[in-house]
C-alpha cells in the first residue's frame, strides 16, 4: 500500500537570540605555571598572547559552568522555556562518557523530554552545534535550541607539558537559537582532516589508565603542525564560507575565530586581509584556550563591552582536535 508522509514545515531562517557565559572562578597568571615547564611569563606571552587564564575550582564542574551560561542565555532571550525543544552541548571534558551532559542539563533546566545530545568536536564544537541548531529549526524539528560549548580542561592538564598545558582554561558559553523570517545564520562550512587525527590528542586512553599501561589522560599537541594547518586551511575555508553566504571580507564587522593562540588569530586576520574596521576577538589574553567554549565566550565579551553590537555581521570559525572545523556567518542579536 502506497503512503505519503507528511513533511515538517520549512522555516525561512534561524537566528541567535541571546548569549550567556560562565568563566572559571580562578584567575591563573603565567607566573603560576612557568616553573614546571621551565619557562617565563615573557615566553608564554610572546608565543600565545596569554596573560592570564580562568580555571575552575576543584568543586566547580562542567555542569555548573554550563548551567550558569545556559540560564543567562535563556533569560536574555526572553523565550518561554516550554518552547525549548533541543539542547546541544559540545564538550570533551565532561567526566562521564555516558550519559550525556546535555540530558543532565535538560533535567536541571526543567525540560527533561527535549532532544538532548553531546558533540565531541572540541574547538569546532560550538560552530558544529550552531549548524545543527539552524538545521533543526529550519526543518521545523525544533522551535528553540540551546547550544552550549563547555569545558573544564584543567582536569586534563599535565603541568609539565610544554605543548599545550599553559594554554588551557575553563568556561562555558551558550546561545539560544530560534526561528527568523529571513536567514540570520548563513550556511555552515564544516568538515575534518582525519589524516591528521593525532595532531591534538590525549596521552593515553581510559583503558590504558585502567590497565596500568599509562597515567591519567592529559592533552598534548604538535604545536607547529597545528599552527600551520590552522592558518592556511582555516583561511581557505573562511573564504569559502563567505562566498557561500554571498559576502566578502568588506562586509565583516566582527571576527571571532577559535581562541587557540593569539599568533594564529593575528595571522588569520592577515591572511584574510581583514579591513582595519573589523573587530577581532582576543579573549584568549585573559581567558585562555577554552576549546568548545572559546567562541561563545569571546562573542559574549565583545557584546558586553559594546565593541560588537546588535546587527553586526559576525564571522565565527572553530578548529581543533581531530582537526575538525566548522563556521558560519551570522547577524548578532
Averaged in consecutive runs of 10 residues, what is the pLDDT profile of the chain (333 residues)? 76 97 98 95 95 98 98 98 98 95 98 97 97 97 97 96 94 98 97 84 89 89 85 93 96 97 96 97 98 98 98 96 91 98
Inter-CA distances, 105 with 130, 135, 147, 301, Å:
18, 22, 11, 24
Please report the pLDDT score of residue 221 as a whole number: 86
Pairing of strands 144-152, 170-180: antiparallel
Tell me the residue ranges of DSSP E strands in the chain: 13-23, 26-29, 52-55, 84-90, 115-119, 144-152, 170-180, 189-192, 200-202, 219-221, 254-257, 279-280, 313-319, 324-331
Name the one residue in this structure whose C-alpha cell is 529549526. Answer: 137
Which residue in this structure is represented by grid cell 577559535? 258
What is the rounded distance in angstroms from the CA atom of residue 292 to the CA atom of residue 239?
22
Residue 191 · residue 88 · CB < 8 Å: no
In whole angstroms, what is the distance from residue 106 CA to residue 115 CA? 9
- What is the model's pLDDT at position 223? 81
Burial class (CB in 10 A: 0-12, 13-18, 19+), 138: buried
* Alpha carbon of residue 325 to chain centroid: 11
What grid cell was written down for 149? 560549548
Three cell numbers at 27? 584567575
pLDDT at 244: 96
Model-level pTM? 0.96
Which residues are bridge partners to 329 per DSSP? 315
Report the C-alpha gap between 269 and 284 in whole angstroms.
15
Alpha-carbon distance of 302 to 281, in angstroms, equals 7
Nearest residue to 219 via CA among 295, 261, 173, 159: 159
44 and 50 in contact (C-beta within 8 Å)? yes
- Residues serving a catalytic function are 123, 258, 289
pLDDT for position 1: 67
Angle at 185 between CA 138 and CA 241, to 5 degrees: 120
Amino acid at each position: 500500500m502506497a503512503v505519503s508522509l507528511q513533511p515538517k514545515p520549512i522555516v525561512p531562517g534561524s537566528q541567535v537570540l541571546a548569549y550567556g557565559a560562565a568563566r572559571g572562578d580562578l584567575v591563573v597568571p603565567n607566573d603560576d605555571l612557568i616553573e614546571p615547564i621551565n619557562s617565563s611569563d615573557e615566553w608564554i606571552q610572546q608565543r600565545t598572547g596569554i596573560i592570564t587564564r580562568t580555571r575552575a575550582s576543584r568543586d566547580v564542574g562542567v555542569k555548573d559552568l554550563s548551567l550558569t551560561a545556559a540560564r543567562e542565555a535563556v533569560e536574555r532571550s526572553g523565550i518561554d522555556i516550554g518552547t525549548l525543544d533541543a539542547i546541544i552541548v559540545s564538550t570533551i571534558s565532561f567526566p562521564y562518557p555516558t550519559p550525556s551532559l546535555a540530558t543532565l542539563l535538560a533535567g536541571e533546566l526543567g525540560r527533561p523530554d527535549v532532544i538532548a545530545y553531546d558533540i565531541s568536536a572540541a574547538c569546532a564544537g560550538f560552530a558544529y552545534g550552531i549548524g545543527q541548531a539552524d538545521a533543526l529549526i529550519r526543518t521545523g524539528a525544533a522551535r528553540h535550541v540551546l547550544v552550549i560549548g563547555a569545558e573544564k580542561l584543567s582536569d586534563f592538564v599535565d603541568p609539565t607539558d610544554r605543548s599545550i598545558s599553559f594554554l588551557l582554561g575553563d568556561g562555558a558559553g551558550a546561545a539560544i537559537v530560534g526561528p527568523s523570517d529571513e536567514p540570520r545564520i548563513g550556511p555552515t562550512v564544516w568538515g575534518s582532516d582525519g589524516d591528521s587525527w593525532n595532531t591534538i590528542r590525549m596521552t593515553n586512553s581510559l583503558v590504558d589508565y585502567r590497565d596500568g599501561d599509562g597515567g591519567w589522560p592529559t592533552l598534548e599537541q604538535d604545536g607547529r603542525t597545528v599552527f600551520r594547518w590552522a592558518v592556511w586551511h582555516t583561511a581557505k575555508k573562511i573564504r569559502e564560507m563567505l562566498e557561500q553566504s554571498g559576502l566578502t571580507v568588506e562586509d565583516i564587522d566582527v571576527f571571532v575565530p577559535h581562541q587557540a593562540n593569539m599568533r594564529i588569530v593575528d595571522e588569520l586576520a592577515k591572511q584574510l586581509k581583514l579591513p582595519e574596521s573589523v573587530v577581532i576577538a582576543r579573549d584568549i589574553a585573559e581567558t585562555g584556550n577554552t576549546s568548545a567554549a572559546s567562541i561563545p565566550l569571546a562573542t559574549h565579551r565583545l557584546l558586553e563591552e559594546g565593541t560588537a553590537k546588535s546587527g553586526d555581521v559576525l564571522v565565527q570559525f572553530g578548529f581543533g582536535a581531530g582537526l575538525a572545523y566548522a563556521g558560519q556567518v551570522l547577524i548578532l542579536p
